[in-house]
Structure 1
Amino acid sequence: MLRLQHDSHRRLNALTGEWVLVSPHRTNRPWQGQTEAKAEAAIPSYDPGCYLCPGNARANGERNPAYEDVFAFDNDFAALLADAPREEINEKGLIVAQGEPGFCRVVCFSPRHDLTLSRMSVGDITKVVELWREEFARLDANPLVGFVQIFENRGAMMGASNPHPHCQIWATQSEPNEILKESVRQRDYFESRRTCLLCDYLALELEKRERVVCENDGFVALVPFWATWPFETVLLPRRHMVALDEFGESDSRALADILSQLTKCYDNLFSTPFPYSMGFHQRPSDGAAHPHWHFHGHFYPPLLRSATIRKFMVGFELLGSPQRDITPESAAERLRASLSR
């Protein structure tokens, strides 16, 4: 009989159709790998050299207003350009390229340089969620846009070039790879069962409660059964909604609250500002209804054993499939325990 907490096995990611190898017996192996420097805790509330702080000049010469809560602007170093050519290069189906126009925005969560979501009030995080809704609605209505990706890179370990609390929004003409995979799986499930994949999955997780980390009336944060990163989590709304434009005031506050709870769990786990990349997946911006889509958020934190030891995707994981030692169930248990600290 397969013992998920003891035997090597693989788990199916129901959202992407990919597999992850789980090796729980390896958690006792000695560690002699790379360690990282622990994050510095002392950050000023205002940095005169920060291009995101209120009143400061940015790289393009523009000066930020003296904003008092949230603030959004066009990225000065945008990865996507609205006037990019839309032509395609295709040589025998082997050398293929397409122009990709789009838009990049930056959203500052707070005028305070030293805050993070885990240290902001639920009321202030709610203002961030409301701005996400506004930005999504505006970009979603643009005929050039096919998908809107909201994401945050927190911490230098995840490539964040500035500690000021902020996120980015990239609006692409095409649907990115992860969205295409999730679209196919959710559509196939819906067409074969006439129910929503993530609605059914959430119901199963709430019944088992092995991987639930924290929850409120509107959202549940859990370690997915198929998690790849050691302390990966997913945020799921209890009611079926396909995108941010279906949020009401109570939904915005509930999302803000679950973000507050979960980021506190992360920071408490290793007593350090926890690095991560997080973002929200929702229906494409092509004008279709997409009833099979279920709005959700992903958190991908790299830390493995402590504040100074991270997970690397190398070797078999690059050439074969992802692998993890800590089971999702034990990761969820540790995150739950950190919430009460």
Structure 2
Amino acid sequence: MPELRQDPVSERWVIIATERAKRPSDFKPPHKEKNGNASCPFCPGHEKETPPEVLAFRAANTEPDTPGWQVRVVPNKFAALVAGGEVASESKGMYRTMSGTGVHEVIIEGPDHDTFFPDLTPEHAVQVLKAWRQRYLQLERDKRLQYIQLFKNHGPTAGASLEHPHSQLIATPLVPGAVNEEMARIKAYWQEKERCLFCDLMKTELETGARVVAFNKEFLAFCPFASRFPMEMWIMPRRHQAGFGTCNDEQLEQLAAILQDILGRLKQAVNDPPFNLVLHTAPLRREDSIYHWHFELLPRLTIVAGFEWGTDMYINPTPPEIAAQSLNEISVSPEEEG
């Protein structure tokens, strides 16, 4: 029979539709030809087609906005929010407005148009994460900004308008409502249990083991109990930390390793599906909060339609236990730590 499951963090209900259960292999999309890099603004030699870089890890004696870079960060040419000016808000009767002050950047993850994150060298993957952290810490100093959202869209149906491997960062002048709601639930749990909800969640997942996909010294990746999508995974630091900016170099190395691992498994299991990878972190300058930062990996293997939009309940045809089992059947490199 179908089963309704509640996520302990969001308190959202999910329908695990076992009556129409599917194994992850049932979702494999057909192979699609790539458009190529001839006109790609992110490829080497096309640096002048993007705004000037704000950060780059590049070879010695190479000039900014020229070839020779390994990771490059530029403002988004079509930014959702723009830097400059003070944050101003205004009430108009029952409506409120706020100036669109913020930051929208693109992290170009490598010069190769066709080498995606799981296929980078380990050293290069760590460089990508160091770029994430460096921009996070730099923008944290801007008192106008309240929240930083790091995210990666992979594939057109997940919102990626360009094939070249990249991720994005948007810094907002307010804390998004969903973040405030999540923090309120975590605070209530802390007040009742005097423990972190996420730390308890990881302990439970490690004890049961049925939904664990990978782990190493610093991170745990698992399919959440109330997964919204087939093969959804959460990646959490095993030490309690409120904000992503507190990650040290050793943690970034371990995070890069586990991200390459699970993204490689996902690519093999369901033929490189579209996905969104999103950061959940504490609001800026609140690193002492009771929050526990993490990433959520959301494969776009099912369609969000009328029922989901109307109820905020998701229908998932693949139980997370089956998804985790399928991902664990994928061979991994011998360097993986257990």
Answer yes or no: same fold by TM over 0.5. Answer: yes
- Calculate the aligned-residue CA RMSD, in Å: 2.3
Residue 31 of structure 1 corresponds to none
Amino acid at match of 2:83: A
Instruction: State whether structure 2 residue 80 is matched by structure 1 residue 79.
Output: yes
Q: What SS does the corresponding residue of 2:152 show, helix, strand or coil?
A: strand
Q: Output the CA distance in 1 between the equivalents of 2:202 and 2:251.
A: 17
Shift of residue 263, structure 1, vs aligned partner: 0.6
Q: Output the CA distance in 1 between the equivalents of 2:50 and 2:328.
A: 44
Match of 1:327 among 315, 319, 323: 319
Q: What SS does the corresponding residue of 1:227 show, helix, strand or coil?
A: coil
Question: Which stretch shifts more, 252-261 or 8-17?
Answer: 8-17
Q: Output the CA distance in 1 between the equivalents of 2:105 and 2:3.
A: 41
Residue 155 of structure 2 corresponds to 155
Amino acid at match of 2:143: P
Shift of residue 276, structure 1, vs aligned partner: 0.5
Note the 1:144-293 alignment, pairs <5 A.
144-270=144-270, 272-285=271-284, 287-293=285-291
* 8 Å CA contact retained: 2:2, 2:18: yes
CA offsets 1:147-198 (integer angstroms, 9 cap, x no match): 0011000112212111111100000011123322221111221222221110
TM-score (norm 1): 0.86
Q: Relative to 1, partners in 2 of residues 1:261 and 1:289: Cα closer, same or farther, differing over 3 Å?
A: closer
* 8 Å CA contact retained: 1:48, 1:56: no
Q: What SS does the corresponding residue of 1:280 show, helix, strand or coil?
A: strand
Instruction: State whether structure 2 residue 309 is matched by structure 1 residue 314.
Output: no
Q: Output the CA distance in 2 between the equivalents of 1:83 and 1:89.
A: 22
Instruction: State whether structure 2 residue 82 is matched by structure 1 residue 90.
Output: no
Q: Output the CA distance in 2 between the equivalents of 1:67 and 1:20.
A: 47
Q: Output the CA distance in 2 between the equivalents of 1:161 and 1:316.
A: 27
Structure 2: unaligned runs, 5 residues or longer: 53-63, 334-338
Q: Output the CA distance in 2 between the equivalents of 1:257 and 1:181.
A: 31
Amino acid at match of 1:229: F
Amino acid at match of 1:56: H
CA offsets 1:314-333 (integer angstroms, 9 cap, x no match): 13222222121211111111
Note the 1:117-136 alignment, pairs <5 A.
117-136=117-136
Residue 44 of structure 2 corresponds to 54
Q: Output the CA distance in 2 between the equivalents of 1:16 and 1:267.
A: 28
Q: What SS does the corresponding residue of 1:263 show, helix, strand or coil?
A: helix
Match of 1:296 among 294, 300, 305: 294
Q: Relative to 1, partners in 2 of residues 1:257 and 1:183: Cα closer, same or farther, differing over 3 Å?
A: same
Q: What SS does the corresponding residue of 1:333 show, helix, strand or coil?
A: helix
Instruction: State whether structure 2 residue 38 is matched by structure 1 residue 39.
Output: no
Amino acid at match of 1:292: I
Q: Output the CA distance in 1 between the equivalents of 2:21 and 2:264.
A: 25
Q: Output the CA distance in 1 between the equivalents of 2:51 and 2:219.
A: 41
Question: Which stretch shifts more, 137-146 or 331-340?
Answer: 331-340
Q: Output the CA distance in 1 between the equivalents of 2:50 and 2:20.
A: 50
Amino acid at match of 2:297: F
Q: Output the CA distance in 2 between the equivalents of 1:266 and 1:164.
A: 19
* 8 Å CA contact retained: 1:53, 1:64: no
Instruction: State whether structure 2 residue 16 is matched by structure 1 residue 25.
Output: no
4+ runs deviating over 6 angstroms: none
Q: Output the CA distance in 2 between the equivalents of 1:215 and 1:154.
A: 23
Q: Relative to 1, partners in 2 of residues 1:336 and 1:90: Cα closer, same or farther, differing over 3 Å?
A: farther
Structure 1: unaligned runs, 5 residues or longer: 1-6, 29-33, 304-310
* 8 Å CA contact retained: 2:47, 2:67: no
* 8 Å CA contact retained: 2:51, 2:74: no
Q: Output the CA distance in 2 between the equivalents of 1:194 and 1:35.
A: 44
Q: Output the CA distance in 2 between the equivalents of 1:312 and 1:204.
A: 30
Shift of residue 64, structure 1, vs aligned partner: 3.4
* 8 Å CA contact retained: 1:221, 1:236: yes
Residue 4 of structure 1 corresponds to none
Q: What SS does the corresponding residue of 2:329 show, helix, strand or coil?
A: helix
Q: What SS does the corresponding residue of 1:69 show, helix, strand or coil?
A: strand
